[in-house]
Structure 1
Amino acid sequence: MSKLKILISRTDAIGDVVLTMPICDILKKHASVSELHFLGRSYTEDVIHCNSAIDQFLDIDKISKLDYEDQIALLKKEKYDVILHVFPNKKIAQLAKDADIPLRIGTTNRWFHWVTCNKLVRLSRRSSDLHEAQLNIKLLSALNITDEFSLEELSAHFRMENINPLPGRLKGFLDKTKLNVIIHPQSNKSAREWGLDNFGELINLLPPEKYKIFISGTMADGNSMGDWLEKLPKHVVNLTGQMTLKEFISFIYYSNGLVAASTGPLHIAASIGNNALGLYPPMRPIFPQRWAPLGPKASYIVANDTCSNCKMKISGCNCMQSIAPVEVVKAISAWT
């Protein structure tokens, strides 16, 4: 039997893409798979290139700018045997069908998969108690891969091994005599946030003779936090807007760890084997049971009580506010 050339489609955010990485390693190690390509967004490309199990990245943002017939021709030229729709997207599902990819795998709970896919997996993410990475693995049953994986086992399948050397201008910031801790305060509205006041108190509780603190984020994050950043102690380094994603991944790798809410950088830190401390609310479906960071040095703190007032709020979440900075300090002090 000829081996399969597979296209994995996951065109959403960085954290979601990171938690799809174990699929790539599991597939690549399977006897029936020869080549693995990943269809993603432009801004997740640097994350995807870190995975040594992936043979090629396809940029959906660039592909979408082509005439539709050229999009079809591009996929046909690759001669894929399988497309796995990890993240459902109506246009991509139709494109895969029009490109005559022989096996098109989707889920039963998306109506458009019923008319664009020819292999459906019964999978409901919203009501499941499984972790996101475990839910992704369930899709492999369409390829007769039915192995069950614990979260600890999945941590060994990230294959985030292609880390670039750290540029000199960033390497000079790190202090080998201290623990270099990255604090990523904001989430681009993708997660419940702990709040700048809490992060400020955390920084004040970490003795500067032992810890060097870095604030990370986009340029927009830096602008929105401007007043707060100006009030931070002088030993804190503001790196917002100063790194590409590729550089940020390297900086995370060479630092001693990262603290954040349930964001992409948190999952990057965990997947490359660094200390990663996540701060979470307790309510489903955004609780750590579904979205905890996975890795040998990953951990999280979750609020004890669920409140309904903050169900739709990103910042000012009462659940998150109940996490005390001293709890976070205690967790960081255990890092090695």
Structure 2
Amino acid sequence: MTSRIHHPIKNILILRPDRLGDVLLTLPTVRNIHTAFPDAKISYLCTKYTAEILRNYTLISDLLLYDPTIKHHHLSGIYQLSKVIADYNYDLAIHLLPRFPLALATFMAGTKYSIGSGYRWFSFLYTNRLYEHRKYNKHHEAEYNLRLAAMAGVSATPSADSYNFFHFPEKTISKVANITKSVFGSAPFIIIHPGSGSSSHDWPQSHFIELIRLLNKKGDYRVGITGTESERTLLKPFESAGIDYVNLLGQFNLEELAVLLKSAKLMVANSTGPLHLAVAMGTLVLGFYPIAPSLGPERWGPFGRPAQEHITPESGEKVENKTGHLIDMSSISPQRVFERIQQILK
């Protein structure tokens, strides 16, 4: 049974303890929730990792950190989480990631209204359920989030200013400015992010190297490579390739990376969280995506800003003969990418 949501709604919890890109694609929903309930406080349940960026989004009042492996593991951990949620006395919880422990926690906390998917065995724990399968990939991930929140009377049409509510500390801005000045001088720069955390099919490292070689030859922009400390092995082929780039791996936390991307002319990356972070910062992007419904740009591409770009294979191996999905990213040539970059930046 679905409960009719009655106003006033004064305290709202959004739940999506997920990866960076997934979380950033919920911000259009946060924006529209704020529009629908301008006097309400909005909290966000997330992981410690994504809290680094969400704490700078001014429409969010409080962050609840979720630790499913230790602190909130097993029933005792869920009970502890439910007590925290109960202390906030939320009127409405919107579960953008359907997970049993989270559904149980808001239920145990006595949250008046909770919205979630109707297609889970634990969906009875939600007071309001949306019967829509995301597995059919009919909408962009950000649109799926908006459609779920629409059950609370929130507009499902994304606002053009969804990403305009970031505010970063002056200390962070100054630190990043000093680093970029020391490594790039006054030259404009492009950020290349060759990793993806295995979230999709990657463009080959050899192609990234050849692209940097083409950019070096053109000479209009310096190149910086970003990534985590654990991705340092990705740079092995780059180190002996005789190309000019600045190694920025492991030098920035998420907050600092956001400020860095805001200063870049362009980001070139696989389908990954930092690509969506660049979009949120208003930076031009060019992302690599396979032609496959569950991984392609229609579901996971740059969202919410004009003039964002993606590029897909023109030919390649199929996932299986029946699907026709193109996942051979090597068929995207460095020359084709270089020419697209020239078009974007002209």
Deviation at 1:134, TM superposition (A): 0.8
Say whether 1:278 aligns with 2:287: yes
5+ unaligned residues in a row in structure 2: which ranges? 1-6
Q: Does residue 7 of structure 2 align to residue 7 of structure 1?
A: no
Output aligned runs, 1:205-216, within 5 Å: 205-207=214-216, 209-216=219-226
| SS, match of residue 329 in structure 1 | helix
Partner of residue 102, structure 1: 112
The equivalent position to 1:245 in structure 2, one of 248, 254, 261, is 254
Contact 1:163 1:249 (C-alpha < 8 Å) held by counterparts: no
CA contact (8 A) 1:202 1:329 kept: yes
Structure 2: how far apart are the matches of 1:275 and 1:108?
37
Tell whether the 8 Å contact from 1:25 to 1:159 is kept in structure 2 after alignment: no
Q: 1:85 aligns with which of 91, 95, 98?
A: 95
Q: Is the 2:268–2:286 contact (alpha carbons within 8 Å) kept by the matching residues of 1?
A: yes
* RMSD value, Cα: 2.2
**Does the C-alpha gap of structure 1 residues 48 and 321 become closer, same or farther in structure 2, counting only changes over 3 Å?**
same
1:255 corresponding residue in structure 2:
264
Q: 2:183 aligns to what SS in structure 1?
A: coil
Please say if residues 150 and 156 of structure 2, whose CA atoms lie closer than 8 Å, have aligned partners that are also in contact: no
Distance 1:269 1:34 in 2: 29
- Structure 1: how far apart are the matches of 2:94 and 2:234? 39
Using structure 1 for the length normalisation, give the TM-score: 0.89
Distance 1:200 1:58 in 2: 41
Query: Secondary structure of the residue that 2:161 maps to in structure 1?
Result: helix
Paired letter, 2:88:
E
Quote the Cα distance in structure 1 between the aligned partners of 2:88 and 2:98. 21
Which of 143, 163, 166 is the equivalent residue of 2:168?
Answer: 163
**Which amino acid in 2 is paired with 1:10?**
R
Partner residue of 2:60 out of 54, 79, 94: 54
Tell me the matched-pair count.
Answer: 324
Deviation per CA, 1:187-213: give whole Å up to 9, x if none. Answer: 111111001000001001113531111
| 2:150 pairs with 1:141 | yes
Give a deviation string over 1:270-320, Cα, whole Å, max 9, x none.
111101111111111111111111223411111134633489xxxxx8521
Query: 1:80/1:229 Cα in 2 relative to 1: closer, same or farther (>3 Å)?
Result: same
Call closer, same or farther: CA 1:32–1:63 in 2, change over 3 Å: farther
After TM superposition, the structure 1 = structure 2 runs for residues 245-324 of structure 1, keeping only pairs within 5 Å, are: 245-294=254-303, 295-305=305-315, 307-309=317-319, 319-324=328-333
Q: How far, CA to CA, are the matches of 2:159 and 2:333 in structure 1?
A: 30
1:236-266 Cα offsets, whole Å, 9 max, x none, are 1111112212211111111212111110000
1:228 aligns with 2:237: yes
TM-score, length-normalised on structure 2? 0.87
Q: 1:138 to 1:33 in 2, by over 3 A?
A: farther
Counterpart secondary structure, 1:225: helix
The 2-side partners of 1:300 and 1:318 are apart by 15
Are 2:181 and 1:176 equivalent residues in the alignment?
A: no
Residues 107-151 of structure 1: per-residue CA shift (max 9 Å, x gap): 11112122x111101121111321111111001222123x442xx
3-state SS in 1 of match to 2:246: strand
Whether the 8 Å CA contact 1:4–1:32 is kept in 2: the answer is: no
- Residue 188 of structure 1 is matched in structure 2 by 197
Gaps of 5+ in 1: 312-316
8 Å contact kept, 1:186–1:221: yes
Deviations 1:62-99 (A, max 9, x none): 86278554322211111111111001111111111111
Maintained 8 Å contact 2:14/2:43: yes
Q: Structure 1 129/68 Cα, relative in aligned 2: closer, same or farther at 3 Å?
A: closer
2:126 matched to 1:117? yes
Query: 2:39 and 2:316 mapped to 1: Cα distance?
Result: 44
